[in-house]
Amino acid sequence: MPVLTVDLQEGFADDHVTVLVDDRAVFDRRGVRTRYEIGFAARAEIELDRGAHKVCILLPDKGEVAETTVDTQSVSHVGVERAEGQVIMRPSAEPFRYM
Amino acid sequence: MTDIKHGENGYGDEADAGFDETAYYPETATQLTPADRLTPRLPLPLFASGLYQWSQRLLVPDLPVRPIPTPLPIHPDLPIPPRPGPGPSPTGLETEAATDEALLPILFNREELRLDVDGRYPQMTASGTLFRRFTMRTHWIASLTRTGSNSYTGAIWFKDGDTAGFPFTNVNITVIRSLFPNQRRVTIQFAGGGATRTRTYGFVSSYFHKVEFEFDHQVGATPVLDINTTAHPNRPASLGAETLTATKVFQRAGFDVRVNGAVSAIPSDGADTNTTWSDAEMHDAMQVYWSRFADRSQWAMWVLTARQHDMGSGLGGIMFDSIGPNHRQGTALFTDSFINVAPGGDPAPDAWKRRMQFWTMIHEMGHAFNLAHSWQKNLGTPWIPLAADGEARSFMNYPVRVAGGQQAFFADFQFRFSNPEMLFMRHAPSRFVEMGNADWFDHHGFEQPDGAGELELELRIDRDKPHYDFMEPVVVELRITNRATEPRIVPESLLADAQEMLVITKRDGQAARQWRPFAHHCREPRGRVLQPGDSLTESLFVAVGEGGWHIDEPGNYTLQVALEANGQELMSNPLRIRVAPPRSFEEQHLAQDVFTEDAGRVMAFDGSMVLESGIDAWRRVMEQLPKSRAAIHAAITLATPRSRRFRTLDWKAARAGQEEAKCFRFAKVDHDGARKLLDKALGDTRLAVETLGGVDFLYYAGHYSDWLEKEGDKADARKMGDACKKAADLRAARDKPGRERRQVA
């Protein structure tokens, strides 16, 4: 079964973050904070069936939301950043790298 | 005395300057072709860039000292002179009147100048730091324009720290270049803000800061500490062929780099049987294996090459040190990660891996200098407003994040930091950059002085836990130890002269205060030889001083002392103490009378026959809280005037112009009263040593023993002598094992 990895990356500062896949909460954590030295905050790994799935990132305290659809046959990773009040999602076939 | 420093503190001689061949090319150095580099220009340019220093030693200007109403006990036959403590003595330092500075007590003034107008990656910037009173710092930065072959001008655009006495807005700089470092000078005329000021600085070093690196590795993880810059074909055409090391990279960024040769190979099973490393495990390893580890800020860092982090192969490296009070001292890179996997089809995969591992090491070391990623410059709290630059060809950018990916990045990468990063590392206030440092007065007490010296200053107490009862007068001890391998001479009264030291008290949540003694003493300057390992110890009654009580409320306090000895700035450890809350309403009520200026003065001078309200406050402490530690101090305070023919001045007679003998009155010695009080104060040796401190206990008990002997009570005198011996044993047992000291005091 393919695993979709969602990396919460830049721009989080003690935020409440919920990750929904196909409207099911798979990650819900308060106090998510980016470690600026590596540009990484938190990771969610979800086993999914092959095919298309809706991934939604929700910051309920800030009223911010972003959504995208990924096909696990071509996408295994989703990077999520917050910048200028917006949540940006970057699907990728490759794992994200940090230094 | 004004000193223009030349090459002191290990900086500055040409051999130490570490010029590489490229350093002889001025502003255009970054654009040079390899052919250019092979042909040195003649005559060799004389660079002006580097670190310069000016220093001045001052005596403290006259302070507005209030008249002290308590007669000073000066009778030669008195058995117990006043409490030993600090007082001024103008020893050692030459006097120079303050000129253009509005000065509070100043021990040592020093200014640093960093001139950055030529050599490698010139930023056309000058920055300076004014050091005053050990804790005061004023930092300024100016952008420069060349106005002549040896002159520059520019506006000051950044100020930090204690800027109230630094109104200037512009600088005009004149440079004297020379082949001989000791002839190099920079004169700056500061102007603007309604004031002018001129300073001439002497050359210290071609570098802006010193830094030390130590490279350790996990067994099985091979570190890459140098690369051939042309080993990989994907590179800028202008990139010169050389063996590049971390030392060279940071020398070019302006640092006088020393690599600590104490390399450790860390066993693979040392941290965790899982073989991967958590941040906490690396932090632990840093404390064990890094020869320079210390709980303080220092221009030094530890670089670990390990196999893999807990996060897996997706983490190539990390500045892991965000644990504990001193961050940014340790970095790591991981060989079992993506940095050791060349992209498929790469023409030189081994060279790619070597380059990537080297690049990652420098990147993580950059984080330890407090550099953010290139795309993060506008995030968090940058030192100045900065723009993110996601396309920067800098060690601090991710190669894969630029347009065109790592291929495009390395095709245009000159193995350097960006100019804003250079500016930060060279010219930002050092506390922003120095490893392990933090905000001024935040968490750690005060900023540490540069480096460790030959003399060590320690602030200590004679009790297991630094806990004090409410209303217990706080006495601490200062100890200076010769850590050099040769004998050193220090002023004998170095620790007894509060005028020559800066004493800071800070209650958590409140502003720091400078403690000053009630009395100033004049002493004949005398030297004391400290053999290697010897120490000199003195007590400091820090609870109260001129301006009132410093430690009079429950809570946590930080105490720290700075002084200058033999030209070396000494900063003690910050001593944390806790004062307990009052145990009863009675204590609270009594505190209102104890924490007054009169009661403070009475205790500081070991008694009075004039300040009635103060005397009465301590009398009531003895009556109402007889078993308290405060009562021990009260007993000594009340005993002292009774034990001597206490002399008081008859003001009326003095004003009437009576002859001297008629101006003084002498009280009768109250033998029984004094003995009763001193027996109570000194009877329980352990308790008395704890609350008075060993130095003061030995002082009081010794003098009491002598007095008893003089009175003919040899048995009790012997008993008190035994108590002194016991106190000395208690102090010896409290000293840390392995730190042998021969007590001089």
| Spans of all domains in chain A | 3-92
The C-alpha torsion from B607 through B609 and B611 to B614, rounded to 10°, is: 50
Which residues of A are less than 8 Å from B315 in CB distance?
Answer: 38, 97-99
For residue B247, give both structure tokens.
């030392």
**pLDDT, position B447:** 35
Could you tell me the CA-to-CA distances from B318 to B44, B201, B584, B615 in Å, in that order?
41, 40, 53, 62
Cross-chain Cβ contact A37/B360 below 8 Å: no
Helix (H) or strand (E) segment spanning residue A69: strand A64-71
Cross-chain Cβ contact B380/A36 below 8 Å: yes
Asked if B137 contacts B429 with a C-beta cutoff of 8 angstroms, the reply is: yes
DSSP B83-134: PP-------SPPP----SS--SS-SEEEEEEEEESSSSS---EEEEEEEETT
CB atoms closer than 10 angstroms to residue B714 = 10
Between chain A and chain B, the number of residue pairs with CB atoms below 8 A apart is 42
Which residues of B are less than 8 Å from A5 in CB distance?
Answer: none
Pick from B305, B309, B315 the residue to mutate for testing the A interface (most A CBs within 10 Å): B315
CA–CA dist B605, B546 (Å, integer): 12
Same fold, B2-58+93-205 and B455-743: no
Q: B364: distance to nearest CA of chain A, Å?
A: 7
Q: Is A33 on the interface with B (CB under 8 A)?
A: no
Asked if B70 contacts B611 with a C-beta cutoff of 8 angstroms, the reply is: yes
Q: A16: distance to nearest CA of chain B, Å?
A: 18
**pLDDT, position B611:** 87
SS3 A68: strand
φ, ψ (nearest 5 deg) of residue B226? -155, 160
AA letter at B31: Q
CB atoms closer than 10 angstroms to residue B411 = 14
CA–CA dist B714, A84 (Å, integer): 84
CA–CA dist B35, B20 (Å, integer): 16
What is B455-743's CATH number?
Answer: 2.60.40.10
φ, ψ (nearest 5 deg) of residue B701? -65, -40
Neighbouring-strand partners of residue A57: A19, A66
CB atoms closer than 10 angstroms to residue B734 = 15
| Annotated domain spans of chain B | 2-58+93-205, 209-433, 455-743
Which residues of B are less than 8 Å from A10 in CB distance?
Answer: 375-376, 379
What is B2-58+93-205's CATH number?
Answer: 2.40.128
CA–CA dist B248, B331 (Å, integer): 18
Residue B410 makes CB contacts below 8 A (sequence gap 6+) with: B232, B234, B235, B355, B399
For helices B694-711 and B714-734, the axis angle rounded to 10 degrees is 170
Q: Is A94 on the interface with B (CB under 8 A)?
A: no
Instruction: Reduce the secondary structure of B672-736 to three states and give it as a string.
Output: HHHHHHHHHHHCCHHHHHHHHCHHHHHHHHHHHHHHHHHHCCHHHHHHHHHHHHHHHHHHHHHCC
Q: B207: distance to nearest CA of chain A, Å?
A: 27
Closest CA to B692 of B400, B394, B531, B474: B474
Asked if B230 contacts B239 with a C-beta cutoff of 8 angstroms, the reply is: yes
A83: closest chain B residue by CA: B379
**pLDDT, position B541:** 92
**pLDDT, position A77:** 97
Could you tell me the CA-to-CA distances from B584 to A58, A92, B625 in Å, in that order?
55, 68, 10
CA–CA dist B198, B190 (Å, integer): 6
Angle at B128 between CA B127 and CA B132, to 5 degrees: 160
Cross-chain Cβ contact A97/B398 below 8 Å: yes
Q: Residue A95: which of B314, B322, B373 has the nearest Cβ? A: B314
CB atoms closer than 10 angstroms to residue A94 = 11
For chain A, give me the number of helices (H) and strands (E)? 0, 8
Cross-chain Cβ contact A98/B363 below 8 Å: no
Cross-chain Cβ contact A35/B364 below 8 Å: no
Q: In this structure, which topology does domain A3-92 adopt according to CATH?
A: Substrate Binding Domain Of DNAk; Chain A, domain 1 (2.60.34)
SS3 B513: strand
Closest CA to A55 of A6, A11, A9: A6
Asked if B342 contacts B349 with a C-beta cutoff of 8 angstroms, the reply is: yes
AA letter at B451: G
Average pLDDT over every residue of A1-28: 94
Asked if B637 contacts B603 with a C-beta cutoff of 8 angstroms, the reply is: yes
**pLDDT, position B606:** 87
Q: Locate tokens 């004049």: which residue?
A: B522
Q: Is A93 on the interface with B (CB under 8 A)?
A: no
For residue B54, give both structure tokens.
């000016």
The C-alpha torsion from B460 through B464 and B466 to B467, rounded to 10°, is: -150
Q: Residue B314: which of A36, A37, A96 has the nearest Cβ? A: A96
Asked if A1 contacts A47 with a C-beta cutoff of 8 angstroms, the reply is: yes
**pLDDT, position B10:** 30
Cross-chain Cβ contact A37/B398 below 8 Å: no
**pLDDT, position B45:** 61
Cross-chain Cβ contact B315/A10 below 8 Å: no
Asked if B246 contacts B305 with a C-beta cutoff of 8 angstroms, the reply is: no
Asked if B454 contacts B488 with a C-beta cutoff of 8 angstroms, the reply is: yes
- pLDDT higher for A6 or B507? A6
Q: Is A98 on the interface with B (CB under 8 A)?
A: yes
Asked if B513 contacts B105 with a C-beta cutoff of 8 angstroms, the reply is: no
**pLDDT, position B108:** 53
Altogether, the residues listed in chain A come to a count of 99
How far, rounded to the nearest angstrom, does the alpha carbon of residue B406 sit from its chain's CA centroid? 43
Q: For chain B, report the end-to-end CA distance as a whole number of angstroms.
A: 31
Closest CA to B587 of B539, B547, B546, B553: B553
Angle at B379 between CA B374 and CA B385, to 5 degrees: 85
CA–CA dist B75, B241 (Å, integer): 81
Asked if B291 contacts B260 with a C-beta cutoff of 8 angstroms, the reply is: yes
Q: How confident is the model at residue A23 (pLDDT cuts 50, 70, 90)?
A: very high
For residue B322, give both structure tokens.
């965000």
Q: How high is the mean pLDDT in each 10-residue block of chain B (745 residues)?
A: 39 33 37 43 71 71 39 38 37 30 48 95 96 79 95 94 88 94 95 93 96 95 96 96 97 96 78 74 90 87 95 93 77 96 95 97 94 78 75 94 94 95 92 72 33 76 91 94 86 78 80 78 80 90 90 90 73 88 91 92 87 92 94 93 82 79 81 90 91 91 88 87 85 55 32
**pLDDT, position B269:** 63
- pLDDT higher for A43 or B546? A43
Which residues of B are less than 8 Å from A40 in CB distance?
Answer: 311
| Angular region, B578: left φ>0, alpha ψ -120 to 50, beta rest | beta
Domain B209-433 has CATH 3.30.70: no
Could you tell me the CA-to-CA distances from B587 to B515, B611, B628 in Å, in that order?
25, 22, 10
Closest CA to B435 of B296, B573, B260: B296
Asked if B4 contacts B54 with a C-beta cutoff of 8 angstroms, the reply is: yes
**pLDDT, position B208:** 97
Asked if B537 contacts B695 with a C-beta cutoff of 8 angstroms, the reply is: yes
Q: What is the ipTM of this complex?
A: 0.87
**pLDDT, position A81:** 95
Closest CA to B481 of B497, B458, B459, B461: B458
